[in-house]
Amino acid sequence: MATWRLVTIELKLALREKVGPLWGVGFPLVLLVVLGNVPSLREPQEVNGGLSTFEIYVPVIVLFNLAVLALIAMPNALAGYRENGVLRRMRTTPVGPVRVLAAQLAANLAIAVAAAVLVLAVAGIAFGVRLPGSLPAFLAGWALVTAALLSIGLVLTALAPGRSQATAFGTVLYFPMMFFAGLWIPITQMPPWLRDVSHYTPLGAGMRAFQEAYEGGFPSAQPVLTLAAYTVACAAVSVRWFRWQ
């Protein structure tokens, strides 16, 4: 009862906060629609294995949404709670601050699911982009990236002294990570060494898992292990260094 109420409250607060909904959901959707209306991006490209640049961007936009929620919106909210004594206040109740953290994760997860469904649906219905060849595989890849990113978001929250630093760390980390997801140059068009680097970054590994799912296969060992390693390492660091006040 208390847990469920906490999750709904956190969800409401996240929606009122606007960072997540606006930058994590609204902006990626606008980007999708804008890109979808550029004719040259809709043409199949030899370098992309016959896919159009637009089609390659669809999973990038799903990652864009996840990264904003996990690296910026969530650390911002949690570090703010710590700074304002919200977590401290929770320590004096039977529920405790761990469940606030869990509710924050659940709320951001819910927004992320809604956004991913929305992006895939708009891409499919409005622009005729085909769905991933294997939806369960895509889901598995998505779950892995999400776990890794939320874990990284928790590390940012744990290590940042205050709310403003948490937001700053998140934003600074966000751009190189999105670069390796192929936001500016698709991964297939990167020089080989950069592509190799990309595969070992969280979002690059995520893109690889998505690509494999689009081709109908489950994520291969490399992205799975990379993402699992990020998740476990970051979870361990945040458990060790998380401060409630």
Partner 1 sequence: MPSVIEVRNLHKRYGDHVAVHDVSLSVEEGEIFGILGPNGAGKTTTVECLEGIRTPDGGDIRVLGLDPARDRAEVTRSVGVQLQDGQLPERLRVAEALELYASFYDTAADWRGLMDSLGLTAKAKTRYGKLSGGQKQRLSIALALVGNPRIAVLDELTTGLDPQARRDTWDLIEAVRARGVTIVLVTHFMEEAERLCDRLALIDAGRVVTVDTPAGLTERAGMGQRVSFRPSAPLDDRLLTALPEVAAVTRDGERITVDGDEDALNAVSALLARQGIVAQRLRVEQASLEDAFVALTRHETEGK
Minimum gap (Å) between residue 181 Cβ and partner 1:
31
Minimum gap (Å) between residue 219 Cβ and partner 1:
37
- 17 is a site residue for partner 1 (CB under 8 A): yes
Residue 72 tokens, joined = 């910026």
HEC per residue, 200-228 = CCHHHHHHHHHHHHHCCCCCCHHHHHHHH
Minimum gap (Å) between residue 68 Cβ and partner 1:
19
Residue 138 burial (10 A CB sphere; 0-12, 13-18, 19+) = buried
Minimum gap (Å) between residue 104 Cβ and partner 1:
10
Of 157 and 226, the one with the shorter C-beta distance to partner 1 is 157
- The partner residues of 44 in beta bridges, in order of sequence, read 52
Sites for partner 1 among residues 73-132 (CB under 8 A): 80-81, 84-86, 88-89, 91-96
Minimum gap (Å) between residue 42 Cβ and partner 1:
41
For the chain, give the longest Cα–Cα distance: 61
Of 36 and 80, the one with the shorter C-beta distance to partner 1 is 80
Give residues with Cβ within 8 angstroms of 7, minimum separation 6: 103, 106, 107, 110
Of 96 and 124, the one with the shorter C-beta distance to partner 1 is 96
Give residues with Cβ within 8 angstroms of 14, minimum separation 6: 20, 21, 73, 77, 104, 107, 108, 111
* Total binding residues toward partner 1, as defined by CB under 8 A: 23
- 13 is a site residue for partner 1 (CB under 8 A): yes
Contacts to partner 1 by CB under 8 A: 1-2, 5-6, 9, 12-13, 16-17, 80-81, 84-86, 88-89, 91-96, 245
